[in-house]
Amino acid sequence: MNKYKTVVCVSLFVVVLDQITKVLIRSSFALHESVSVLPFLAITHLRNRGAAFGIMNDLPETIRMPLFVLILVVAFIAILTFVKKAEPRDRILITSLSLILGGAIGNSIDRFRLGYVTDFIDFHWFGDPKYHWPPFNVADAAITIGVILILLQALFLKKVSYTATKAQRHKEGR
């Protein structure tokens, strides 16, 4: 598949899944309503006016929203630049960037339309509030998975790829 088709398909999948889950949460749960799913997982309807982990939550709206616009534009340009430079065979990188782009778009839709992002995936250590991970959503998960895949590729897979490429060039006499 063409790398640009991959970006569109993966990003669109993330955005659609993210928006569907958020609409379901907002329509089915009152704000702060929580339902335990597993001993360490609850579905809890929350609003996050800030960025990841509530960063920038206390900034005035007049500063926070322009900052989010700037971050989105820079991220969009950076991701598309990396995709353009990526080799078509570098599917892990292209998929990772697509996940990040889809997550950024999904959260931006909420942020610009509603003034906040809907979070609902609520992990905790068997009900103990001292050991609680900040709630997140599908877009956040996609961004996190994309970043982790890029890091894993940079740390482990690129070395294998570089060694294989070097061996291939040596074999071809280049």
Q: Is 128 annotated as catalytic?
A: no
Given a contact cutoff of 8 angstroms between Cβ atoms, the answer to whether 21 and 101 are in contact is no
Edge-to-edge strands, sheet with 41-48: 34-38, 41-48, 117-125, 128-132
Q: Is 110 annotated as catalytic?
A: no
Work out the angle between the directed axes of helices 3-28 and 138-152 (0-180°, nearest 10): 140
Distance between start and end Cα atoms, the chain: 29
Catalytic hit among 18, 90, 119, 122: 119
**Hey, what's the torsion of the CAs at 110, 116, 117, 121, to 10 degrees?**
-150
Given a contact cutoff of 8 angstroms between Cβ atoms, the answer to whether 121 and 137 are in contact is yes
Cα angle at 15 between 37 and 135, to 5 degrees? Answer: 35
Separation CA 128–CA 116 (nearest Å): 27
Amino acid at 151: L
Given a contact cutoff of 8 angstroms between Cβ atoms, the answer to whether 45 and 120 are in contact is yes
Which residues form the catalytic set?
119, 140
